[in-house]
């Protein structure tokens, strides 16, 4: 993400009032603690944002009205004249220096009037105010770059729509992704393929990317341009972290494809993990539960209250004993049975074409989310003409670390041998499944290979196969997945 330089001549426009809202009409003016907003801004690297922008961000939490053209012009003149010497004020009556930025402020109002601020979802009013501040500051600086107001509005709304519904675990994984330059070398970026995926001309796409990149850089500048860890979630509100992801989506078109495919995978019910919690009786159990007695051998386990009933009401005691209606104590052990997935991921040279890397990572990201929710265990291996070492991910921290390790050098292997990958995947599942407290394992294969398949359905031996063929067709592989009852998509 290249740094955008704002010309010196725009410094007053950046520093002075935004003149967007009517502060006196905001119902939340006295309810929002501005000092708390400023404190949070400092904590997330936005301490350089000027106070006027902070105030407008606070007022927009209440969906404050946008000032009209006459009111904006009046405030612009007043703002600048308050900073002038008396002599300069007199001369300003002739030269009109105080009105020099009126047009820019009117354009800013035009940009923000159509922004869908309702897409900003925050836990508190303060969190939403901070997100509003980031958008206002980005729009203001984008105007100084000569970007038309309607383009600014369109790009910001697109970004807000993309990230508005992101859940916390999605944001956490997307934050861990390496920069696009690490995932794809510059000479491998195929703008023609990108435009085909989006249904627009390549010329429009390239111009669009350039504009998106400028706005993304200004977004990143709002957050100090620093990628942050997310351990202190109270310091980095989810609404702001979503905007940080939005800045990357604007600057890195591949992330858009990644997020789109990850959402497609979420739509398939058959691809959801089966997660089961069980409580099993165990002499060495660390928990105790009460249940109805099942046999007279369990008399020693009766609660003390039952023996007190024998003294107080012997006949009633004998009746309850005959009907086995007493509660007994039992030692139990908790067993969480998670879904076990094993993914075979194609890392051949052809995966550098188009957006194939991002589509592969999208499927991996989808499964890592299940690990992050503690519903699954994931094993995976990359393959080309051979199958490489396996990685087992059980914990959230491991999932984040595996994402950080991704880089495009992984995808420089030889030709694809899908049959070898399938058979090795089956073998590795059988070697691992006995050591895992897991449900019936499922095998996932992500490839762009169109080679014939000679693996028979009976070789899978009850393992469900999910197939994702990236930007190609492979009928044999699709039929094999359908035979096992798994998800099968081609031309992804």
Mean pLDDT of 19-27: 72
Q: Counting every residue, how long is the chain?
A: 492
Q: What is the pLDDT of residue 136?
A: 93
Tell me: pLDDT of 275 over 70: no
What is the secondary structure of 366-383 as a DSSP string? Answer: HHHHHHHTTSEEEEEEEE
Binned at pLDDT 50, 70 and 90, residue 25 comes out as low
Contacts of 258 (CB under 8 A, 6+ apart): 177, 358, 359, 361, 362, 365
Which tokens sit at 331?
């030692």
pLDDT in tens, 205-214: 777 888 888 8
Q: Between these two residues, 284 and 106, which has the higher pLDDT value?
A: 106
Q: Which CATH class for the 338-489 domain?
A: alpha beta
Q: Which phi and psi (to 5°) does residue 466 adopt?
A: -110, 135
Check residue 233 and give its pLDDT: 43
Q: What is the largest CA-CA distance in the chain?
A: 109
Contact assessment for residue 213 and residue 205, using Cβ atoms and an 8 Å cutoff: no
Of 25-29, 288-292, 362-366, the poorest mean pLDDT is in 25-29
Q: β-strands 376-383, 387-393: how paired? A: antiparallel
Share of the chain above pLDDT 90, in %: 6
Give the pLDDT confidence score for residue 408 in this predicted structure: 66
Residue 49 falls in which region: left (phi positive, over 0), alpha (psi -120 to 50) or beta: beta
pLDDT at 99: 84
With pLDDT > 70 as the criterion, what percentage of the chain qualifies? 88
In the predicted model, is pLDDT for residue 409 greater than 50?
yes
Is the pLDDT assigned to residue 335 strictly greater than 70? no
Quote the pLDDT of residue 308. 83
For residue 17 the two structure tokens come to: 């009032």
Find the helix or strand (DSSP H, E) in which 230 lies.
none
pLDDT of residue 234: 47
Q: How far apart are CA 146 and CA 14, in angstroms?
A: 14
More confident residue, 405 or 434: 405
Give the mean model confidence (pLDDT) for residues 479-491: 87
* pLDDT at residue 108 greater than cutoff 90: yes
SS3 content of the chain, % helix, strand, coil (to 5): 55, 15, 30
Return d(Cα 175, Cα 54) in angstroms, integer.
Answer: 25
Question: Average pLDDT for residues 294-315, to the nearest whole number?
Answer: 83
pLDDT at 106: 92
Domain residue spans in the chain? 8-251, 276-336, 338-489
The mean pLDDT value for 59-86 works out to 83
Query: Which DSSP helix (H) or strand (E) runs through 307?
Result: helix 304-312
Confidence (pLDDT) at 112: 92
């Amino acid at each position: 993400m290249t740094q955008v330089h704002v010309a010196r001549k725009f410094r007053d426009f950046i520093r002075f009032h935004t003149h967007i809202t009517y502060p006196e009409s905001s119902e939340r003016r006295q309810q929002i603690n501005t000092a708390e907003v400023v404190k949070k801004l400092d904590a997330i690297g936005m301490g350089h944002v000027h106070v006027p922008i902070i105030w407008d961000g606070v007022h927009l939490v209440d969906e404050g009205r946008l000032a009209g053209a006459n009111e904006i012009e009046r405030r612009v003149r007043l703002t600048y004249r308050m900073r002038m010497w008396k002599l300069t004020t007199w001369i300003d009556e002739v030269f009109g220096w105080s009105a020099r930025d009126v047009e820019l402020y009117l354009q800013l109002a035009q940009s923000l009037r159509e922004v869908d601020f309702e897409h900003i979802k925050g836990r508190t009013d303060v969190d939403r105010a901070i997100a509003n501040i980031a958008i206002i500051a980005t729009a203001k600086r984008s105007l100084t770059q000569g970007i038309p107001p309607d383009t600014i509005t369109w790009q910001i709304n697109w970004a807000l729509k993309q990230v508005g519904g992101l859940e916390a675990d999605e944001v956490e994984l997307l934050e861990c992704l390496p920069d696009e330059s690490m995932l794809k070398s510059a000479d491998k970026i195929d703008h023609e393929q990108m435009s085909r995926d989006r249904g627009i001309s390549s010329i429009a796409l390239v111009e669009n990317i350039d504009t998106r990149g400028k706005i993304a850089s200004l977004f990143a500048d709002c957050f100090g341009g620093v990628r942050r860890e997310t351990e202190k979630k109270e310091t980095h509100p989810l609404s702001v972290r979503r905007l940080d992801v939005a800045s990357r989506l604007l600057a890195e078109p591949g992330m858009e494809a990644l997020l789109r495919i990850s959402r497609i995978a979420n739509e398939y019910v058959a691809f959801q993990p089966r997660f089961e919690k069980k409580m099993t009786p165990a002499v060495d159990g660390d928990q105790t539960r009460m249940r109805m007695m099942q046999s007279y051998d369990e008399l020693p386990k009766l609660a003390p209250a039952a023996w007190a009933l024998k003294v107080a009401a012997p006949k009633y005691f004998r009746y309850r004993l005959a009907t086995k209606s007493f509660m007994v104590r039992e030692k139990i052990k908790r067993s969480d049975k998670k879904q076990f997935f094993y993914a075979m991921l194609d890392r051949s040279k052809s995966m550098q074409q188009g957006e194939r890397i991002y589509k592969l990572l999208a499927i991996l990201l989808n499964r890592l989310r299940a690990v992050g929710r503690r519903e699954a265990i994931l094993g995976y291996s990359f393959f080309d003409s051979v199958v490489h070492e396996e990685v087992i991910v059980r914990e959230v921290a491991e999932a984040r670390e595996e994402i950080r390790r991704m880089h495009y050098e992984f995808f420089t292997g030889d030709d694809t041998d899908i049959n070898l990958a399938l058979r090795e995947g089956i073998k590795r599942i059988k070697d691992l499944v006995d050591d895992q407290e897991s449900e019936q394992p499922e095998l996932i294969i992500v490839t762009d290979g169109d080679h014939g398949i000679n693996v028979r359905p009976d070789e899978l031996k009850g393992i469900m196969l999910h197939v994702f063929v990236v930007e190609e067709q492979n009928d044999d592989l699709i039929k094999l997945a359908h035979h096992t009852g798994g998800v099968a998509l081609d031309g992804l």
